[in-house]
Structures are given as C-alpha cells and as structure tokens.
Amino acid sequence: MKKVPIAPRPGWQAFAESVGFQFHTIDNEPYWDESAYYQFSLAQIEDDLEAPTEQLHQMALDLIPDIIRSEQQLSQLGIPEPFWDAVKDSWHRAEPHLYGRMDFAYDGKGPAKLLELNYDTPTSLYETGFFQWVWLEDQQMRGLLPEGADQFNSLQDKLEQAFAELPLARPFYFSSVTESQEDKGTVDYLMDIALQSGLDSRYIQLEQIGDIDGQLVDLEGYPIQGLFKLYPWEFMLQEEFASTILSSDTRFLEPLWKLLLSNKGILPLLWQKYQGHPNLLPAFFDDGKTALNPGWVRKPLFSREGANVELITPQGEKLQQGGPYTDSGYIRQAFAPLPRFGDSYTLIGSWVVGDLAAGIGIREDNSLITKDSSRFLPHIILD
C-alpha cells in the first residue's frame, strides 16, 4: 500500500458538475482530491480487505438473534423500548437490506482493524462507485496509469443487481433531508441505479412525507409502500410520525433491524463474542464519565463523521471532536493508529452490498479523527 502523486485531469471540476457531483468541493476546501492515489497489491485487497469484510459482515449478522432475545443488549444499544417488537418483527420477516460500509485502519501490512460499521446511512457512495472508476479509465487513456491497473470496485454493478432482485414495492420512493446537497447527490445516484435496473423510482423530500390514518403517504396522499431513506433510524424514531412507523405498511431500506448494527454498541458485542479476532479491537460499553486512559477512543453509540469522538493516543496526545451526539451512551474502543502518508491520516471504507464485499473508498484527514470534511482519494490495484 502506497500513496502515489499524479497530475489531476484538466477541467475535472466542470466534468464532475456535469455528471451530478456537485459536492466535490465543500466550504471552499477540496473534498474530492485526485492529486494522488493509493496503490494496493491484489493480495492486499483480496486477503486483507475483501475476505475480512465478508467475514465480519456475517459475524455481525450472527449477533442479531442473540440481541433480539436480550432486553439488556437492546437497552445497551440504545433501542427505544416501544420499538423493540418492531425491530424483532423486521428481522423475523427477513426484511431485505441493501448496503453498508465498514471503516478500517489498515497500513498494508497487518490485519485491517475494524473501527466501526456504517450500516444505516453510509455516504461516499457516488464517489466510490462511479467517480473514482471514471477517474481510473480517464487516467489510463491519458497514459498516466498502466492499462493493467484495476480497482476494487464492483459497487455500482452490485447495487444494480440488488435493485433488480430485491422484492421491493412499486413505486419505490427515495428520500433525503432538504438541506444536504451531499445526501441528495447520494440519493440521486441510487435512484439512477434503481431506474436502470427497471425499478419505478420516485423522489420525495423527507419533510414532505405525510401521515394519514396510520400510513406514511406522499404529497398526493398515496400510501408509501417502499422507502429508501438517507436519514438515520435513531432520528426517524424521534420524529412526530415515529408511531406511524409501527402502524404503516411501509417497508424500508434500510430495514428497522439495521438499528442493531448501525450504532457503535455493536463493537463491544462483537468483541464479547469473538474476543481476539485479528480484525477486531477490544471494545466495551462506557458510561462516558470514567477518565479516558491513553490508547483508547470514546465514541457515542449514535454519531457520524467523527462527531463527538474523543481519543487519547498511547503517547498521551488527546483529540476531541465536537458535535450534536451528546444524548446517548458511549463505547470505549482500543486505539488503532491510522497510517500516515505525509501530513495525512488514511481511513479505508469497505463496502458491502447484500452480503458481498463490493469495493473500497479512501478518506484522508490531517487529524486522526476522520470527519465529513475529510478528503476522498481514488485507488488502484497494481502488482
């Protein structure tokens, strides 16, 4: 694994905007960065990332029957008690799921260490599945990358296959909050893939979803039978229409049982069952009050993009990121250093579609805490 400088494509910003990548720059800072790429060997991809991703995914799924039988574990995961039965029913009905992303600390040498599961509303989908693949082809045509260079990236193909095969309602709605350009771009990408697979797809702003006679409805008052919502379940269950989720016939992507995997509490539960697994870090539930010792990271059960994460390195360096996630429990996880390339720390996001590994995306930050402003860089496979 190495970082290699490369000349950016002339006019790539205009091209990005022409294909819907409006958030390539955020607050006048680059989000998409093609001044360099990361290079992996095929063995690093297949043995150190692809295989562990699928194994960890199955390990997480195998926890679910134990969790839904345990009131203690449901409470530890912060699942609101009025929704326990609905979560159980969602699992027992085998409601289909679409995708997820695991975040790894990996330096190309040792086992990749799982930092967290993003299994409800993962983003960086478009830039992984589409834009970095176009970058690879363009740079090969320009002669700046060898023709034999490849990429671990079947994300778009697997998503299209999933939409073609999943038993989804028709029409099927896609939704995101109004103010997030990144969320809308991600949903537009998914909608386009769904349309290509033959699914009757329609967009509705989350704020436009109505509630009539115990059913979620669209702007014309028609019941929404199927809904992809790029909006966290823990927020959904606090909305005014939360009780309607229990009475409605809507089937969601992601399903309600994904609540069990999409918060940090799954990390200590994984460690309890699979202690010593080479891809896991020691992790425990934490009351958030005990002093954090060197070599540990504290994360809220519900947080995203590094918000409210606090860490102390083994050398005693302390970092803390602010944010809105202050009303849930915490977990404590052993510190795993992100590899450093120049002035940047590197995080690998490994995608799962259905139950299969589907590709990686790479984020960089000048801090050990990866945030929503962290840069995205492409990658290649080349032995």
Domain limits of the chain?
2-150+340-381
Mean pLDDT, all residues of the chain: 95
Task: Please state, in angstroms and rounded to a whole number, the distance separating the CA atoms of residues 129 and 72.
Answer: 38
Each residue's pLDDT tens digit, 32-64 = 999 999 999 999 999 999 999 999 999 999 999
55-69, 75-89, 296-310, 345-359: least confident range: 296-310
Query: Per-residue confidence at 350, pLDDT binned at 50, 70, 90?
Result: very high
51-68 helix and 84-92 helix, angle to the nearest 10 degrees: 130
Residue 265 burial (10 A CB sphere; 0-12, 13-18, 19+): buried
24 to each of 15, 52, 138, 306, how far by Cα in Å?
A: 11, 30, 17, 20
Each residue's pLDDT tens digit, 241-258 = 899 999 999 999 999 999
Cβ atoms 362, 338 nearer than 8 A:
no
Q: DSSP for 96-165?
A: ---EEEEEEE--SSS--EEEEEE-SS---HHIIIIIHHHHHHHHHHTTSS-TT-B-SB-HHHHHHHHHHH
Task: Please state, in angstroms and rounded to a whole number, the distance separating the CA atoms of residues 371 and 304.
Answer: 8
